[in-house]
Structure 1
Amino acid sequence: MSLYQAQKILYHLNRDEEMQQTFLTDKAAVLSRYDLSTEEYEALHSGDIGLLYVLGVNGQILMHYAAFLKVEWFDYLQLMRDGVDNHGPVRAGIYAMTAGGEQFAETPVTSRDPN
């Protein structure tokens, strides 16, 4: 897998307005500049946030791509959960799951008591 390349394209896409315009009109032209796996290429081409998350794309980079695609924040969070449900646990990167993804889907958000 070429996780570095997938993250690199998203990093550049977030910062380069000319690249953004080209991506909107000709995704293949932009994606062909990077050494992506077939799965990464298809996920980037289709805007599959959940699959990109499962492939290991860093959430800080991925959230900018979601915003570029006009995905609302809570929808973005749900797309990551759906990605785990549809594609299995995160495979690589800092979010790689050792518990099969169950913790991500079932762990409730709780407030922390500072005392």
Structure 2
Amino acid sequence: MSLYAVQKLIYQVNRDPALAQRLKAGPAAVLADYELSAEELGALAAPDIGLLYVLGVNGQLLMHYAALWGLAWDDYLQAMRQGVREHGPVRAGLYAMTTDGDLS
């Protein structure tokens, strides 16, 4: 997994409105410039906020990426919870989980 590449891409998208618009218009062209796994490519293009969270993307970066795609704050929080339910505990990064991820 290339968590660094995912976070670098999200950081750049969050800071560059032109890049953000290019990504929204056609994710494949933008994503091709980064070394990403198939799982990461799918999560970024979807966008699957829950899976990105489980992959370990920093919440400060992820909340702005979610907003870019129109997710309201409550929906963003729910997407992270749902990501853990669907994909298991956070795998890497600052939020890596040491439990089974049961958020009930």
Distance in structure 2 (CA, Å) of the matches to 1:94 and 1:100: 16
| Matching residue of 2:8 | 8
Task: Write out aligned runs for 1:1-115 (5 A).
Answer: 1-102=1-102, 105-106=103-104
| Matching residue of 1:110 | none
1:26, distance to aligned residue in structure 2 (A):
1.4
Distance in structure 1 (CA, Å) of the matches to 2:94 and 2:48: 19
TM-score under structure 2 length normalisation: 0.97
1:87, distance to aligned residue in structure 2 (A):
0.3
1:99, distance to aligned residue in structure 2 (A):
0.8
Distance in structure 2 (CA, Å) of the matches to 1:34 and 1:74: 30
List structure 1 segments (4+ residues) > 2 angstroms apart after TM superposition. Answer: none
SS of 2:44's equivalent?
A: helix
User: What is the aligned length?
Assistant: 104
SS of 1:9's equivalent?
A: helix
Larger radius of gyration: 1
| Matching residue of 1:113 | none
SS of 1:92's equivalent?
A: coil
1:100, distance to aligned residue in structure 2 (A):
1.2
1:20, distance to aligned residue in structure 2 (A):
1.2
RMSD: 0.7
1:48, distance to aligned residue in structure 2 (A):
0.1
TM-score under structure 1 length normalisation: 0.88
Distance in structure 1 (CA, Å) of the matches to 2:21 and 2:94: 30
